[in-house]
Chains A and B, each alone.
Chain A
Amino acid sequence: MEQEAMRGATAESRFVVVPAYNEASVIHSTVRPLIDAGFSVVVVDDGSNDGTWETIQQLPVYGLRHPINLGQGAALQTGMTFALSQGADYVIHFDADGQHRPIDIHVVLQPLLDGQAEVSLGSRFLCRSSAAAVPYRRRLFLRGATYVNFLLTGVLLSDAHNGLRALTRNAAQRIQFREHGYAHASEILHQIRSHRLAYAERPTTVVYSEYSIAKGQSLWNGFNIVFELLLTKLFK
């Protein structure tokens, strides 16, 4: 029991996994605060061709590179597998485009530290001020997506696709992303349910910069995600 309490006591055993595809211009400023906060940082370069990998070489982080582009889900899984092999007690997912605030990591991590949950998911809709910051069309899109997720996975959340999540070692070992693209955000819900993992949602803020909006999901992509999920259900 005491040993259990000791686990994760050090910041180094908290691994932040940052999947990055062509993020050379922002990866440095995204990752630097995480290093400064003392986390172990794993940047997974998903086959970028814009110098992202060269930038990673100059940062004191774990760097993994997919020789070819596979998709965000695959990159996260690579990072998680690696983090677990390095003895991670907690694994945090953190987008590379700078849309998350580093401070929010502590917020999503808290329920795990308190033993209330095995998986903690960030949500931009739990707090009025951060919800109001979401552009109107995205709000509609994400609202629709939460219901689609609910139909497909049986888990109803307030935010359908938030890249900031925290998992305990146990949860990270159990959850295996088989969706290589963006559909992993729905897949994780499905696996939370099938592995009966306790989960929590915590309020986080998404910073909408011109860059992150340009990189974000479009409505069309949403349809693709649903399609991928249905196919996976078909071809399991």
Chain B
Amino acid sequence: MRNIQFVLLTMFLVGTVLYFTRARSRLIDRVFVLAFALAGVVLVSFPETSDWLATALGVGRGADAVIYFMLVSLSYTCLQLYAKIRSQDARLVELVRSIAIQNAKLPGELEDSVPDVLRIADARHLRNAEWISAPSVDGQSEFQPYVKAG
């Protein structure tokens, strides 16, 4: 047995044992992980299998075939994780929204202390009050320089 085989087999075994003892998961995930680990063990123990697989698929070397499959499954895993993050994000937003709405401050609830800076801003607005006037009687806004006549 070559050193690399020993290293890889140990990694597969430890990874699988850790997964089954520590992580909770759905049945489908367990089956998938188990199949993945088994395939890994077989491929590492009997490297010729991958060569046989490669020839059957028309790929030059066994290692290449394995890399191609790895690429596909890794990209798939990335997409799955991304979808998961998005759905978690949506749930987080719902949670934050309900917290915000539960703790709504009503217009009547005012803090007494208004900093002087804001008082000054207030006074300025009172001076400009006519600038923000409501629509005139005919329901049209008074300020419509952009509407062409006719």
B residues near A, CB below 8 A?
A: 82-83, 86, 89-90, 92-93, 96-97, 99-101, 103-111, 113-115, 118, 121-122, 124-125, 129, 131-135, 139-141, 143-147
Contact = CB atoms under 8 A, between A and B. Distances in A.
Interface in A10-34: 11, 28-29, 32-33
14 contacts: A40-B107, A44-B100, A58-B111, A61-B105, A66-B97, A66-B99, A67-B96, A67-B99, A67-B100, A85-B101, A103-B131, A103-B132, A127-B145, A128-B146
Given A44-B100, A74-B97, A62 B114 contact: no
A213 to B, nearest CB: 21
A103 B143 contact: yes
B83 to A, nearest CB: 5
A78 interface: yes
A90 B89 CA distance: 29
A85 B104 CA distance: 12
B85 to A, nearest CB: 10
A67 B96 CA distance: 7
Interface residues on A, range: 35 or more
A81 interface: yes
Interface stretch (A106-114, A148-156, A187-195): A106-114
A54 B111 CA distance: 9
B10 to A, nearest CB: 37
Given A62-B104, A113-B139, 6 more contacts: A40-B107, A44-B100, A57-B109, A60-B107, A110-B140, A235-B83
A66 B96 contact: yes
Given A28-B118, A81-B101, A70 B93 contact: yes
A107 B107 contact: no
A64 B101 contact: yes
Contacts of A64: 100-101, 103-105
Contact of A61 (B107, B133, B134, B146): B107
Nearest to B117: A28
Contacts, number: 110
Contacts of A28: 118, 121
A217 interface: no
Nearest to A77: B97
B97 to A, nearest CB: 5
A124 B147 CA distance: 13
A175 interface: no
Contact of A106 (B114, B141, B146): B141
A180 B93 contact: yes
B100 A180 contact: no
B108 A60 contact: yes
A87 interface: no
B125 A29 contact: yes
A38 interface: yes
Contact of B82 (A65, A102, A113, A235): A235
Given A29-B125, A36-B132, A57-B110, A110 B141 contact: yes
B18 to A, nearest CB: 30
Interface string A176-211: 001010000000000000000000000100000000
A56 interface: yes
Contact of A62 (B89, B106, B133): B106
